[in-house]
Amino acid sequence: MIETPYLLFLGDAPDQLAAKVAIGIRDWRPENAVGQLRLEGCGADLGLTDLTLEQGLEAGAKTLVIGVANRGGVISAAWKEVLIKALEMGYDLASGLHNLLREEGDLVAAAQVNGGTLHDVRIPNVQYPIANGKPRSGKRCLAVGTDCSVGKMYTAMAMDAAMRERGLKSTFRATGQTGILITGSGVPLDAVIADFMAGAVEYLTPDNDEDHWDMIEGQGSIFHVSYSGVTMALIHGGQPDALILCHEPTREHMRGLPGFKLPSLEALRDLALELAKVSNPACQVVGVSINTQHLNDEEAKAYCAEVEARMGLPTVDPYRHGADRLVDALASI
């Protein structure tokens, strides 16, 4: 668990795109962010109040979150100065960077001296169990995709938000570093040792109230040969009661795999459901989430209508149209 609220460190991010993690926190857990801290030359602006470390503390911040990708995989001297000062002032640090905080001697020393914690969310800090496959109480929904990066995290986040707005019981369950930083906890599934993947997902989605839903962030795709093992562990470890199919209709080949065409939504539906039924025979496919960012309003509407007619499942872009119809679809389970 990362202590909230956060002060969001944007460093010298060249542009808004580099601040993806911070944007996610602002959009999905605005109550977790007291403000932003930018260095000279920062090209990103979240529209939050600019705060110094001192002002952040006064506003109640517990953790300085590195909400930005760094350049060239090196934590620069300019960043270091701020990070060390933050530790000296009593902040914890949290990061999803590839180069780990815990591998920087000066940060480790400053954390030890000041009793701060370094959260490297790419690295598991729990010894996960082997999955046991035992049915768990409560309900679980998993977003599965025709490909990587088609909006699975967004879909689960949006459904979780819509559930909670209705006063229903729901928890977003993060399985990647962005989701973990946004919510403060989760499992960095792609960094877990193979034998413990499904067990990590069981650990992430434990017994719960019968009317509680876990909205599990998907990873990879069962059709993406680089990462399908991770997806498989999510499907079997997550024991989903409901699957949401996620798709980006303009993509010409699987992400990073020029030789591989995307599967149809029908192929995803059939294969994911067959696999899911191994761990939960009652699993159902309940809806379709389309990432329409490369379509105009007209095209997006037409595409969703076409898929909905073809597949007989509520089909929306939760970013454009809201997630309400997907949440409605859970009511029947």
Q: Give the interface with a second copy as residue ranges (CB under 8 A).
A: 130-135, 189-195, 197-199, 222-223, 225-233, 236-237, 256-257, 259-260, 271, 274-275, 278-279
CB of 201 to a second copy, least distance (A): 9
Per-residue b or e along 285-315, where b marks 16 or more CB atoms closer than 10 Å to that residue's CB? bbbbbbbbeebeeeebbebbeebbeebebbb
Fill in the amino acid letter for 305: A
Judged by CB, which is closer to a second copy: 91, or 196? 196
CB of 132 to a second copy, least distance (A): 7
Judged by CB, which is closer to a second copy: 89, or 271? 271
Judged by CB, which is closer to a second copy: 125, or 132? 132
CB of 175 to a second copy, least distance (A): 10
SS3 207: coil
CB of 256 to a second copy, least distance (A): 8
Question: What is the C-alpha to C-alpha distance for residues 97 and 67, in angstroms, rounded to an integer?
Answer: 9
Judged by CB, which is closer to a second copy: 115, or 135? 135
Question: What is the C-alpha to C-alpha distance for residues 69 and 73, in angstroms, rounded to an integer?
Answer: 9
Q: Residue 247's closest CA among 216, 268, 224, 270?
A: 268
Beta bridge partners of 69: none
Judged by CB, which is closer to a second copy: 115, or 281? 281
CB–CB of 218/144 below 8 Å?
Answer: yes
CB of 194 to a second copy, least distance (A): 5
